[in-house]
C-alpha cells in the first residue's frame, strides 16, 4: 500500500509523462485545418502525413487541428508555430507539400516562401 505522499508522487509522475508524451512542451507546433471544408479539400490526408512523420521519429513537434480560418480558396492550410519565431501559415497543402514541410521546415528550419499565405 502506498503512503499518501507516494500516491501523490506517482500521480504527478504519470501526469508529467502524459504531458511530455503528447508533445505539449514541444518547441514546434503544427496545426492542420480540419473544418468540414478543409477535410473536403484533403486535410485528412495532410494530417496523416504529419502523424506518420511523428510516428517515424520526428521529435519536438506538437500536432493538433484547428477550425475554420475562412479562407476556403487556400485550403488545406497548415500553420507552423515555433518558439521565438513568427508563425508561418501554408496554403493549398497537399500530402506531398506536407512531406516537404516536414523535411524542409520542421527538420531544417527552411520556410518555403512560395507556399506561405
Question: What is the set of domains in the chain, with CATH numbers?
Answer: 25-115 (3.40.30.10)
DSSP string, 11-77: HHHHHHHHHHHTTTT-SEEEEEE-SHHHHHHTHHHHHHHHHHHHHTT--SEEEEEE---S-GGG-S-
**Residue 16: what pLDDT?**
86
Q: What is the pLDDT of residues 91-114, one digit of tens each?
A: 999 999 999 999 999 999 999 999
Residue of higher predicted confidence among 71 and 27? 27
Please give the model's pTM, rounded to 2 decimal places.
0.85
Amino acid at each position: 500500500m502506498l503512503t499518501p505522499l507516494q500516491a501523490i508522487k506517482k500521480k504527478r509522475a504519470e501526469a508529467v509523462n502524459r504531458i511530455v508524451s503528447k508533445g505539449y512542451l514541444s518547441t514546434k507546433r503544427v496545426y492542420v485545418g480540419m473544418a468540414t471544408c478543409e477535410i473536403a479539400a484533403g486535410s485528412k490526408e495532410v494530417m496523416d502525413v504529419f502523424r506518420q512523420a511523428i510516428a517515424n521519429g520526428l521529435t519536438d513537434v506538437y500536432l493538433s487541428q484547428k477550425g475554420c480560418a475562412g479562407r476556403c480558396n487556400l485550403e488545406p492550410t497548415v500553420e507552423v508555430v515555433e518558439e521565438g519565431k513568427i508563425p508561418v501559415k501554408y496554403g493549398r497543402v497537399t500530402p506531398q507539400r506536407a512531406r516537404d514541410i516536414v523535411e524542409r521546415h520542421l527538420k531544417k528550419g527552411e520556410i518555403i516562401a512560395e507556399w506561405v499565405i
